Amino acid sequence: MKTEQAVAQATTSMTMIQALRSAMDVMMERDDNVVVFGQDVGYFGGVFRCTEGLQQKYGKSRVFDTPISEGGIVGAAIGMGAYGLRPVVEIQFADYFYPACDQIVSEAARLRYRSVNQFTAPLTIRMPCGGGIYGGQTHSQSPEAMFTHVCGLRTVMPSNPYDAKGLLISAIENDDPVIFLEPKRLYNGPFDGHHDQPVVPWSKHPMGQVPDGYYKIPLDSASVYRQGSDVTVLAYGTMVFVSEAAANETGIDAEIIDLRSIWPLDLDTIVKSVKKTGRCVVVHEATRTSGFGAELVSLVQEHCFHHLEAPIERVTGWDTPYPHAQEWAYFPGPQRVGEAFKRTMEA
């Protein structure tokens, strides 16, 4: 599962936060056009500490705090990109990207197209997403489908430290605008949805072993996180581990595909797996209607219809704002995912 480039290197046990920081560090070292900015990312090192120490190392011209203005952060990044820099910006929570919508949708995503490559927006826009921290409706959202609906954006969501670093390096080097969603519930360990149990740290998980230097994970490749023969599970972010827990608890031999790059998508890996298992369950934390799951279900039926032995199931967040106190009734945990596995096996 790890690339050749990565296997040859010394590794360190890292949390996802440390892996993301390491990716930025490696890229700032290699390319002095890389700049990092956002709210609280400078002196303080970010509210989740992802940029800790970077200002000290690279100076205030390359790592700095910004005013609280998401539109300003993305708009300024587009201008810097037009000059030739490679900005890596942080939106403090994905729930706060909305004031930057115009700059992302109308500007960054279409700059290359409308100027026929004269100007590009080689930005990476990092944002922590997802719930599970009692963050209520403004610190819990998973807005990936809003980005996949926009032509010209790449949307990525890693599920572990190893992928996070390799994908972030690819995102920074990529000349298209990349929306880099970080499931905040995975920052410190592979959370599987059992919120009443202690968190397993990344140091106890193989994907927490991260190469110290430069390596890349391509932006269009999914990974088969768990091999299986009964049902194909399409998941990303936190739902990879929730699905793994559901497979272990139901005894259903699920093949879990971690999409990693949500769009553009590694369709080949998906189609190959569904043709093998004949069954498919799509899992995401975001709300159901017009969620990215709808796109996945369409693609699977377009490409695998004659191989399907059961209707494709979707397990998602409910179509409500993310509630605060009822967080765990909202969150699609292992029980709901396991029930979908059973339904698809019985169909």
Partner 1 sequence: MSEYPPLRLHVPEPTGRPGKATDFSYLHVSKAGEVRRPPIDVSPPDTHDLAFALIRVLDEDGKAVGPWAPDIDKETLRHGMRSMLKTRVYDSRMLIAQRQKKMSFYMQSLGEEAIGTAHSLALKDGDMCFPTYRQQSLLITRNVPLVDMICQLLSNARDPLKGRQLPVMYSVKEAGFFSISGNLATQFIQAVGWGMASAIKGDTKIASAWIGDGATAEADFDTALTFAHVYRAPVILNVVNNQWAISTFQAIAGGEDTTFAARGAGCGIASLRVDGNDFLAVYAASKWAAERARSNLGPTLIEWVTYRAGPHSTSDDPSKYRPADDWTCFPLGDPIARLKKHMIGLGIWSEQEHEDTQKELEAEVMAAQKEAEQYGTLSSGYSPSAADMFDDVYKEMPEHLRRQRQQLGV
Question: Angle 281-284-289 (CA atoms, 0-180°, nearest 5)?
Answer: 95
47 lies in the binding site for partner 1 (CB under 8 A): yes
Mark residues 126-165: x for contact with partner 1 by CB under 8 A, - for none: --------xxxxxx--------------------------
42 lies in the binding site for partner 1 (CB under 8 A): yes
113 lies in the binding site for partner 1 (CB under 8 A): no
For CA atoms 227, 230, 232, 235, give the dihedral sign: negative
112 lies in the binding site for partner 1 (CB under 8 A): no
290 lies in the binding site for partner 1 (CB under 8 A): no
The encoded tokens of residue 257 equal 């595909």
Q: Alpha-carbon distance 206 to 210, whole Å?
A: 9
According to CB under 8 A, which one of 1, 29, 43, 56 is a site residue for partner 1?
A: 43
- Strands 178-183, 124-129: pairing is parallel
139 annotated active-site? yes
Q: Which residues of 158-171 are buried (b: 16+ CB within 10 A; e: fewer)?
A: bbbbbbbbbbbbbb
Count other C-beta atoms under 10 Å from residue 143's C-beta: 18
Mark residues 90-109: x for contact with partner 1 by CB under 8 A, - for none: -----xx-xx----------
Q: What single DSSP character describes residue 91?
A: -
Which of 139, 284, 306, 307 does the annotation list as catalytic?
139
DSSP secondary structure string, 131-162?
--SS-GGGS----HHHHHTSTT-EEE---SHH
Give me the least distance between CB of 68 and partner 1, in Å please.
5
Mark residues 318-347: x for contact with partner 1 by CB under 8 A, - for none: xxxx-xxxx--xx-----------------
Containing 257, the helix (H) or strand (E) segment is: strand 254-258
Which residue's CB is nearer to partner 1, number 83 or number 305?
A: 83
Give me the least distance between CB of 181 and partner 1, in Å please.
18
Q: Residues 6 or more apart from 84 whose CB is under 8 A from it?
A: 33
Report helix, strand or coil for 63. Answer: strand
Which residue's CB is nearer to partner 1, number 109 or number 340?
A: 340
- Contacts with partner 1, residue ranges (CB under 8 A): 39-40, 42-44, 47, 60-61, 64-72, 95-96, 98-99, 134-139, 288-289, 318-321, 323-326, 329-330
**Where in the sequence numbering do the catalytic residues fall?**
139
